[in-house]
């Protein structure tokens, strides 16, 4: 059983109207040792449990970064933020999850498919691949967003694209009607990727986002030749 660790919030910032970026540091010297791509569970309000993906690679002071959607569809996230603002501390347990880079050693190319704040663990995976592992394989990120302002990591991704020629990313807007000036790709991100890859070969895909997106992607991609072990996500799909 993973033991619980007490963490203090030392940074809390509304990055969009319904996404909060916050950073937690261990209150005592006990910290959660994790691999980029993994998630933790926040325990609050007498036993409520919220899974949260870690957005950064491990650092010396054990700081953990999180990005949390807290609109009306995410009531538990709203309760969590209310508790965090009141107590400024939270118990975390973990790490959990198997979406880690070592799963893709045999891949010729890494594809990352993110939906909304599903970008969170993928940011950590990319930091690990680009900055730690110095991976040189072709890497493509497809980030599905409903609203243009949801592209809150665009500047970081642009800087990586300039710095690392084998890394590229595309934003795919699923609600273009509200952005008449949008000139980029539109539609559901998994359908966009499926059009670009009518037949999968030895790519490995890291997929993270709303359950319905991950499920739809798994079904569509397996119909285009992607084997189960090439589709990496932390959602229980069956
Ligand atoms: C282990 C685990 C960890 C989690 N970690 C986090 C976390 O760190 N932060 C967090 O906010 N939540 C987390 N969640 C909850 C959940 O995954 C997120 O709430 C979800 O990813 C947020 O989606 P969104 O509202 O940003 O996506 P939206 O803005 O609703 O959608 C983004 C894109 O996803 C695609 N999409 C959306 N709906 C569908 C659909 N029905 N069919 C096909 N494609 C669709 C579209 O391309 C759309 O543009 C976690 C859940 C689990 C199980």
Mutate to test the pocket of ligand 1, among 34, 116, 191 (most ligand atoms within 8 A of CB): 116
Per-residue pLDDT at 237? 82
188 Cα to the center of ligand 1, angstroms: 12
Is the CB of residue 41 less than 8 Å from the CB of residue 96? yes
**Residue having the nearest C-alpha atom to atom 10 of ligand 1:** 68
Look up residue 178 and give its two tokens.
Answer: 């509200």
Look up residue 148 and give its two tokens.
Answer: 């243009």
Q: Which atom of ligand 1 is nearest to the CA of 209?
A: 21
Q: Which atom of ligand 1 is nearest to the CA of 116?
A: 26
1 Cα to the center of ligand 1, angstroms: 27
Distance (Å, rounded) from C-alpha 115 to C-alpha 226? 19
Per-residue pLDDT at 76? 98
Per-residue pLDDT at 3? 59
119 Cα to the center of ligand 1, angstroms: 9
106 Cα to the center of ligand 1, angstroms: 28
Three-state secondary structure string covering 40-74 = EEEEECCCEEEEEECCCCCCCCCCEEEEEECCCCC
Per-residue pLDDT of the chain (238 residues; tens, 9 = 90+): 455 799 999 999 999 999 999 999 999 878 899 999 999 999 999 999 999 999 999 999 999 999 999 999 999 999 999 999 999 999 999 999 999 999 999 999 999 999 999 999 999 999 999 999 999 999 999 999 999 899 999 999 999 999 999 999 999 999 988 788 899 999 999 999 999 999 999 999 999 999 999 999 999 999 999 999 999 999 888 7
Q: Which atom of ligand 1 is nearest to the CA of 97?
A: 1
Task: Identify the bridge partners of residue 65 per DSSP, sorted by sequence position.
Answer: 23
Per-residue pLDDT at 92? 97
Per-residue pLDDT at 177? 84
Look up residue 56 and give its two tokens.
Answer: 């950064």
Mutate to test the pocket of ligand 1, among 213, 215, 219 (most ligand atoms within 8 A of CB): 213
Per-residue pLDDT at 1? 46
Distance (Å, rounded) from C-alpha 116 to C-alpha 121? 11
> Could you give the domains of the chain?
4-96 (2.40.30.10), 101-232 (3.40.50.80)
**Residue having the nearest C-alpha atom to atom 51 of ligand 1:** 51
29 Cα to the center of ligand 1, angstroms: 32
28 Cα to the center of ligand 1, angstroms: 32
């Amino acid at each position: 059983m993973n033991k619980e660790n007490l963490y203090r919030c030392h940074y809390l910032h509304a990055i969009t109207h319904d996404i909060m970026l916050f950073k937690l540091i261990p209150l005592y010297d006990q910290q959660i040792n994790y691999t980029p791509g993994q998630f933790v569970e926040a325990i609050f309000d007498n036993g409520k449990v919220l899974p949260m993906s870690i957005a950064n690679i491990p650092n010396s002071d054990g700081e953990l970064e999180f990005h949390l959607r807290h609109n009306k569809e995410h009531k538990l996230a709203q309760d969590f933020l209310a508790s965090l603002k009141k107590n400024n501390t939270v118990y975390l347990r973990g790490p959990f999850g198997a979406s880690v880079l070592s799963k893709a050693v045999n891949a010729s190319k890494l594809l990352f498919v993110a939906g909304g704040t599903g970008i969170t663990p993928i940011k950590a995976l990319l930091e690990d691949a680009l900055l730690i592992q110095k991976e040189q394989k072709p890497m493509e990120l497809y980030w599905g967003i409903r609203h243009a302002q949801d592209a809150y990591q665009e500047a970081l991704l642009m800087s990586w694209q300039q710095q690392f020629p084998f890394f590229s990313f595309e934003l795919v807007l699923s609600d273009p009607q509200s952005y008449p000036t949008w000139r980029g790709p539109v539609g559901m991100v998994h359908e966009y990727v499926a059009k670009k890859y009518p037949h999968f070969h030895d790519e490995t895909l890291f997929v993270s986002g709303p359950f319905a997106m991950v499920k739809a992607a798994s079904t569509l991609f397996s119909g285009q030749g992607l084997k189960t072990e090439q589709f990496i996500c932390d959602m229980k799909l069956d």
